[in-house]
Structure 1
């Protein structure tokens, strides 16, 4: 008779275990999604049940298979539910069986909560677990066999990065087994497998070369001739595929461009011995073509292709285009720089983007002697012309490139403007960047100028910090004043993400201390308003936190004009939002504080008139400015002036309003002006509506007379007339009449509508 245990072992080994191991990795694509997660989850439950159902001695023959499969599922499964189910099953087996290798250590790193983050699982936890020899090879094999050909491109890319991180755990196995297995797959027919295999070859090669360098070995230590030729062959096969698929499957070509650019970058960073090889020319051609990108591919995909190509270009140039003297071949330098600068004026926006980013990625030895030419070309790409007004992305990338170029060439005050950022070109650089902060272009996509403004603010910060850390004297007071004022304006505007970015840059420059940024106006007051301790905690995205701080800058003369300009757009916004609510509330609170300070009020009103005058017929500012003025009048912000018949402010404001709407057909502008000039009439109308709704608030005996006065009076008549009617209403309703301050004379003012507005009725 057979031993019961032997029968169990045979059944378990030949029937149950293979099924469970297959189920733990089951995944099948159907259409745009996949099936299999429920199967994998059920398999984890079965493994969980094993721990409770069997004696530890009965599972010993299968421990390595089950433990490896559960670890792989816990770390590499696509779905978080399955990763957590595998972790729970592993935990149950560790607790009840006690035979899983390194169970406690692994469970500590890959517990229920740790496996919730997929990127962390692939790139961090996997490396730790692979440190235990029992799991190293199974994990690598799983990635190569099951994940680099996965239907989800995100999983394929994460798998290749995981292979990079796992390479130091088994370098010989990677070089002698995995890489030879991947090279044929990288030129195969299946698109997903080809994509993953090329990326895996790139990542493993980079990791092996880095490991060899760290151990003072030749970069080719882990490679034989066949492997090196196989790596070079990938490029040729991909070019053939691009030619085949270009007009049929643009999405396929997109994969190829992205993938091979990554391969070029990694092989260049690996310092592969290809200097002087014709393959370098082929790589350069593909990079240039990627910078131009595919015309019918989505803009997001094109941007990814360009970023990948730019990274590849930087690595290629640094490794293969520099000679022993640290210089570039003049002919090659001339060809690259001239090609990229000429592309900055291309009629295709995305081509401009690509070549701008390429110039920003060039190493110093390729920019040497051509810096001024590069800066001039990038400056032209930032200028708005009627033909390219909507090319906001190109202007954004040109501004980014300017900062990158400056960081690459470095600073030398007395140096040549063809080689360094110096006293001869720093003003031009700042002028270009500051001009970008004024880009308010809009189109069907919305405020596309915001992309340009954000890039300009970032570049201003990077260039300024570069100068501060090298030659502070190149920053003059006027430039610093302009930077801080423009940032203050952007920090007062209505779009949260741009306001937050401006606020972050503003505080970075204010609190930078290695060494401090010079010439910041009102530094002490700014540090009191924005203490260093709150730099990280202040939430610029929250209107309720940002505007109470930024409105305090209205009390600083240098910033007042710019902050008021930014607040005009926020307070007078088209719709009622939290931005409009808190910006208006903060502005009115500031106005209340200065009501009794005549000099502060005079300064504020002069600045307000200046903002209005500078932006006449600029609808982006003037229309919300009219709305803001309407709100300020309704809140009594200018009562101190409107009660004075001889004060010039109301007259100047009235004249500017007339000039703004002259011959205008803009309904929103006309309505804003109507509200602004008809506040007594509007107030009377609202009181009339209130009395109709709540008739019991007034004595019925006087109701008819009150209603008649409200409806029949010409509230836009002379001040003496309407004041008499108002006082009569106050007497009828037994409301205290507003009292004028002594020594204030009333006159026949053009803007009689400014009288006491919201204090007219109580």
Structure 2
């Protein structure tokens, strides 16, 4: 490319013809290098100053079709040639004003095949070519062709092939303003990308994190290309996009993507792309000078910062780092983003030097935000993912930061109650998302076992009772061993509050679980009940203490359920507890062994908290 500025005539006369011939070489590296060389020379040569002969230029324009006709996209080296040819098309689109509409249409036929390719390098090279062609050459194409192209690309966002969804999402983001603003293309593209970014297929095998991530990137790219004013102008009765808050709402929904597969938390890719996108969209919205209140409001500002702060407190180092950069970028924008609450505290948190990849450095800063009522629930909902995780270092630093904050609070008891209320709300919001519920239950157990909630009076406050009910709701019908164990620990820890209103329902739950279908859960319930009995002797009459401890400690609770029911019933009598029929185990003699210990692969993934 650099040589084009120095010796263009010689390159045009001698080098280009040779490279065109070498593109048909039987040697894969040779023809790949020749095609890449042609692309670089087209970028380096000023075609207006140093014109390439028509014959040579025609050969270059028809090079991709010639390679395709020779079937060089197939077999050995086919992938390399696809990427190289896309580079040639990008160079032609950027620099050649002699392309005809027929040639451009044929180029898009080739690029469409490349967009479906599973190799990311090939699809990205095709996207770059589309970016150049759509901006420099689309004025030669008919409106009908452009509308059909957009309609076809949007339709591919729902294709069964994940690779196709990835490529066509990026291709839509690469289109120029001219085609995006044609007829109803803009609404169609935005709605299609928003759906592709936020829709999680019911069948796990059909989910694809890269497709959703690429859709987020393209969604933001489209907004940057056309501008927020153009999107705002879509408001009409028939439009599904009512205002620019549609951009924020879509990206915030992407921040709730916690999908996992055998590679781990692939939803983190989507969340990271959404955070980068939020920074760009907020900058566009807050920079509008006319009728600014229609574009950017206090409520929008608060939910954006909440979403990013939650990611700032999560377990993945890379995600925290992206969130930290996003937060700093938002606070340093010019003109300053308006309606930011607790700006001074936020600026102190992101003040350099800070290493967000270091849990020890990150959580000390994040914990300061728990003092900000506007952001506390978002921050604690992110911190519990780390506190309830499996990484020893992560658990250590995140828990230490939380306990240090609680201990140094002006009113530790009041702050503990606020955090408890936020955690219960997090469980309610999470519903059946065990990757959130399980760490939250583990965090609640730590708060109870470390005496941060000992001041609560179960007979005077409704928080302990609510905590018990929420935990019982998570245990009911649950088949996840890790979740059951976390819930049992919470229920057992509630007994230390020694409230009469909690004693009977907590004991009912623990005793009932001693005959659960899973041996591991039966043993866990018996062990927790035994430990609480030794610690709090007031749970049982003195004359029944010896019998209860003997049953709990000496019986093999991993044995057959049918043989354990008599001991369970005896425990009800010794503790003077009336069994609740709905809590009784529904275990039958025909329970399959696979239902007892083999909790399945996905349960193992949840156990590892990916």
Q: Report if TM-score (shorter chain) is over 0.5.
A: yes
Distance 2:492 2:172 in 1: 57
Q: For 1:149-195, what per-residue CA distance to the aligned partner results, in whole angstroms no more than 9, with x for missing partners?
A: xxxxxxxxxxxxxxx12332333332333223322112222111000
Distance 1:611 1:620 in 2: 12
How far did 1:651 drift? 2.8
Gap change, CA 1:283 and 1:612, over 3 Å in 2: closer
**Partner of 1:631: helix, strand, or coil?**
helix
- Matched residue, 1:399: 216
| 2:380 and 2:419 in contact (8 A); partners too | no
Distance 1:656 1:485 in 2: 24
- Matched residue, 1:288: 112
RMSD over aligned Cα atoms = 3.0
- Matched residue, 2:163: 350
- Matched residue, 2:283: 465
Q: For 1:718-754, what per-residue CA distance to the aligned partner results, in whole angstroms no more than 9, with x for missing partners?
A: 26989xx9xxxxxxxxxxxxxxxxxxxxxxxx9xxxx
Structure of larger gyration radius: 1
- Matched residue, 2:385: 569
| 2:420 and 2:444 in contact (8 A); partners too | no
Q: For 1:677-720, what per-residue CA distance to the aligned partner results, in whole angstroms no more than 9, with x for missing partners?
A: 445999xxxxxxxxxxxxxxxxxxxxxxxxxxx99964354269
- Matched residue, 2:82: 257
Q: For 1:185-225, what per-residue CA distance to the aligned partner results, in whole angstroms no more than 9, with x for missing partners?
A: 1222211100001110110121012xx5xxxxx25x24223
| 1:412 and 1:422 in contact (8 A); partners too | no
- Matched residue, 2:420: 605
| 1:310 and 1:358 in contact (8 A); partners too | yes
Of stretches 359-368 and 223-232 in structure 1, the one that deviates more from structure 2 is 223-232
- Matched residue, 1:504: 325
How far did 1:411 drift? 2.9
- Matched residue, 2:142: 329
Gap change, CA 1:374 and 1:233, over 3 Å in 2: closer
- Matched residue, 1:517: 337
**Partner of 1:358: helix, strand, or coil?**
helix
**Partner of 1:657: helix, strand, or coil?**
helix
- Matched residue, 1:482: 303
Gap change, CA 1:614 and 1:341, over 3 Å in 2: closer
How far did 1:359 drift? 1.1
| 2:231 and 2:243 in contact (8 A); partners too | no
| Aligned pair partner of 1:632 in 431, 438, 447 | 447
Distance 1:503 1:313 in 2: 33
- Matched residue, 2:94: 269
| 1:235 and 1:260 in contact (8 A); partners too | yes
The yes-or-no answer on 1:230 pairing with 2:67 is no
Distance 1:713 1:491 in 2: 41
| 2:235 and 2:242 in contact (8 A); partners too | no
How far did 1:519 drift? 1.6
- Matched residue, 1:56: none
How far did 1:318 drift? 1.9
Gap change, CA 1:317 and 1:495, over 3 Å in 2: same
Distance 2:466 2:61 in 1: 75
Distance 2:179 2:494 in 1: 69
How far did 1:582 drift? 0.8
- Matched residue, 2:172: 359
Q: For 1:52-101, what per-residue CA distance to the aligned partner results, in whole angstroms no more than 9, with x for missing partners?
A: xxxxxxxxxxxxxxxxxxxxxxxxxxxxxxxxxxxxxxxxxxxxxxxxxx
| Aligned pair partner of 1:556 in 355, 372, 378 | 372
Distance 1:274 1:629 in 2: 66
Q: Please show how residues 51-66 of structure 1 align to structure 2 within 5 Å.
A: none
Count of residues in correspondence between the two structures:
502
The yes-or-no answer on 1:384 pairing with 2:200 is yes
- Matched residue, 1:29: none
- Matched residue, 2:511: none
Gap change, CA 1:418 and 1:640, over 3 Å in 2: closer
Q: Give the gaps of 5 or more residues in structure 2.
A: 497-529, 546-576, 578-610
How far did 1:500 drift? 1.3
| 2:313 and 2:382 in contact (8 A); partners too | yes
Distance 2:288 2:258 in 1: 33
Gap change, CA 1:345 and 1:615, over 3 Å in 2: closer
Q: For 1:644-692, what per-residue CA distance to the aligned partner results, in whole angstroms no more than 9, with x for missing partners?
A: 863433332223222221232322123223333445999xxxxxxxxxx
How far did 1:459 drift? 1.6
Distance 1:595 1:662 in 2: 38
| 2:248 and 2:304 in contact (8 A); partners too | no
Gap change, CA 1:528 and 1:647, over 3 Å in 2: same
| 1:681 and 1:715 in contact (8 A); partners too | no
Of stretches 355-364 and 606-615 in structure 1, the one that deviates more from structure 2 is 606-615
- Matched residue, 1:670: 484
Distance 2:177 2:495 in 1: 68
- Matched residue, 2:503: none
Q: Please show how residues 214-225 of structure 1 align to structure 2 within 5 Å.
A: 218=48, 221-225=50-54
**Partner of 1:494: helix, strand, or coil?**
coil
| 1:258 and 1:309 in contact (8 A); partners too | yes
Distance 2:532 2:164 in 1: 67
